[in-house]
Amino acid sequence: MEDKQIQFLLNHLRQEIERYLSGLDPNPLWQKLQTRLTAQDRAAYSRRIAQLKTRPQNSRLTDRKDILLLLLYLRGISGKLGEPILGITRITKLLFIAFQELALDTIIKNPYRFVPYKLGPFTPELYTDLKILTDLGIITAHPLDPEGLPIINLDRALATCLANLNSGITATERLDAVNLAFTLTPQGRQIARRLAQNAPRQKKNLLPGLQIVKTNFASLPLTQLLRYVYTRYPEYTTESEIVTKVLGRPAPKLTD
């Protein structure tokens, strides 16, 4: 076979392969993979919950979701255990501060990996974790209306707490970022209480540090919380779409 014929056949084969690949939708494959990974993580954390119930004295903080549960369990500005946290953006920034300033990577085997994004530091892993914890009945996400009030029936104490937390947050911020309030279920409180009892054995300053993070930052208006993060960690503002609004000036130029 002549070289020209071989080249023609190779080009034809390449075109056929490209035509076939272009007709494939990668999303279903990615969705299947993501679903599989989420199912594996859900099963693993379900086993961990069973361990926490049967052998609480041997339970150590190992999973990033443990830190999320502790943040939801500790007291906030209201002084009550289990004070809700408003909005995924706020939870993301609280976890970011906690992992950055408390050196949690030293005790957590699968820490959150934060990257610069539209609102500053972001981790897609949090969305998976919130879904897993909700599916397992460990946390509940309460929908809020644009005024920050619950739109489902809640006990009066929780409804009052949510209303008070929203009192310092502007209507614009509520519309932009606070459409869910996350709180522990009774089972979640039980699990988080056991995690809190064991935490000082691993890291003495962990609970006091998380307490400071929640008390000082969880009830701040979102702009103030973002201003703290943007000012202290400018390397995570490079992709932010609101950095000028938050800081009142363009993001600082970073040098190598």
Q: pLDDT of 13-34, one tens digit each?
A: 666 555 554 555 545 544 554 5
Long-range contacts, 95-100 (Cβ 8 Å, 24+): 95/67, 95/68, 95/71, 95/123, 95/126, 96/120, 96/121, 96/123, 96/229, 96/233, 96/236, 97/213, 97/217, 97/228, 97/229, 98/67, 98/71, 98/209, 98/210, 98/213, 99/67, 100/233
For residues 206 and 199, the answer to whether their CB atoms sit within 8 Å is yes
Q: What Å distances lie between residue 157 and 91, 162, 211, CA to CA?
A: 22, 9, 21
Q: Edge-to-edge, what's the strand order for the sheet holding 180-184?
A: 85-86, 180-184, 139-143
- In single-letter form, the type of residue at position 107 comes to I
Query: For the chain, how many residues are written?
Result: 256
Burial (CB < 10 A; 0-12, 13-18, 19+), residue 203, is middle
- Helices (H), ranges, 203-249: 206-217, 222-232, 243-247
State the residue for tokens 């390449």: 14
143-198 confidence digits (pLDDT tens): 766 555 555 555 566 656 655 655 555 554 544 445 678 999 999 999 999 999 98
The answer on pLDDT for 88 being more than 60 is: yes
Listed residue (77, 90, 63, 100) closest to 191, CA to CA: 63
What confidence score (pLDDT) does residue 147 get?
A: 54
Q: What Å distances lie between residue 70 and 1, 73, 158, 201, CA to CA?
A: 71, 5, 18, 15
Q: What is the DSSP letter of 139?
A: E
36-87 confidence digits (pLDDT tens): 667 888 898 999 899 888 887 767 898 999 999 999 999 988 888 999 898 8
The answer on pLDDT for 3 being more than 80 is: no
The answer on pLDDT for 219 being more than 70 is: yes
User: What global pTM score does this model have?
Assistant: 0.77
- In single-letter form, the type of residue at position 244 comes to T
The answer on pLDDT for 110 being more than 90 is: yes
Regarding beta strands 120-122 and 139-143, do their DSSP bridges make them parallel or antiparallel, or are they unpaired?
unpaired
Helix axes 88-101, 125-135, angle to 10 degrees: 110
